[in-house]
Amino acid sequence: MSETATIPDAAIVLDTVQLRLGNQSFEFNDQIASGKITAITGMSGSGKSTLLNLIAGFETPDQGRIRIGSEDITDLPPAKRPVSLVFQDHNLFAHLDLATNIGLGIDPSLRLGAADRLAVSQALKRVGLGGYDRRKPATLSGGEKQRAAFARALVRRKPVLLLDEPFAALDPGLRASMADLLLDLHRETGQSVLIVSHDPQDVRRLADDVLFLDQGRISLHCDAKTFLSGEGPAALKTFLGPFHDRDRF
């Protein structure tokens, strides 16, 4: 997996996507560039995870369409969408060893051929877990579990990678290490990466572009430098707070 993969156009188009959950309404109308790392950030409750869930297929819009490249995915179930997901809690099955957990990313029925098993082994090595094939998740550290989740995303070979607060449970040193790994994997795969985070440091380390959400809407879509400068709506300055003030000097 040392060579850059050939990834089809994976621009994500949100065409007047509307959703109501209880008393809260969401509306997203934007286009997310193919092949970039785009951070989705904003205050708690602004709609970050909801937007990711709409793209992943865990929520269905009341109105509007979602496209990835030329494909309308609005009505596709999650398993049929051209996306891989990494969550904060890793989603590893405790009773299965790592090789089996990662093999699920290739075929949920685990009907794996020799090439599939080799791909699993190579993915583990690529994320620094070579030789961990028979280890159970309970024997791993938080960082190792996250690496395993990245390995599973690698073997799926989907053009879009969605990450929901993937580093939130890690200490600062591990966060930096995992961010470096994500950057390396992105350079190799060329995937379109969307990462939900409330931490401006993740934006600084990782993002090409940023979607800043406020009250269920995309309030600002800009490059990372503009976002970190605090230029934009008042809610952005409130969100950045001391980080913005410190960054100015």
pLDDT of residue 132: 92
pLDDT digits (tens, 9 = 90+) for 200-248: 989 999 999 999 999 999 999 999 999 998 888 889 988 988 665 445 4
Amino acid at 239: F
For residue 1, pLDDT beyond 50: no
* Average model confidence (pLDDT) across the chain: 88
Q: The tokens of 211 are what? A: 């979607």
Percent of the chain residues past pLDDT 70, beyond the cut:
92
58 close to 78: Cβ distance less than 8 angstroms:
yes
Phi/psi of residue 205, each to 5°? -70, -35
pLDDT of residue 4: 42
213 close to 47: Cβ distance less than 8 angstroms:
yes
The confidence band for 8, taking pLDDT boundaries of 50, 70 and 90, is low
Amino acid at 177: S
Q: The tokens of 214 are what? A: 């406020």
Q: The tokens of 25 are what? A: 């309404």
> Mean pLDDT: which of 25-39, 82-96, 159-173, 235-249 is highest?
25-39
Q: How far apart are CA 6 and CA 10, in angstroms?
A: 11
What is each CA distance from 133 to 4, 121, 154, 158, 241, in whole angstroms? 25, 7, 15, 22, 44
> Mean pLDDT: which of 4-18, 19-33, 129-143, 221-235 is highest?
19-33
Q: The tokens of 88 are what? A: 């904060």
The confidence band for 153, taking pLDDT boundaries of 50, 70 and 90, is confident
157 close to 185: Cβ distance less than 8 angstroms:
no
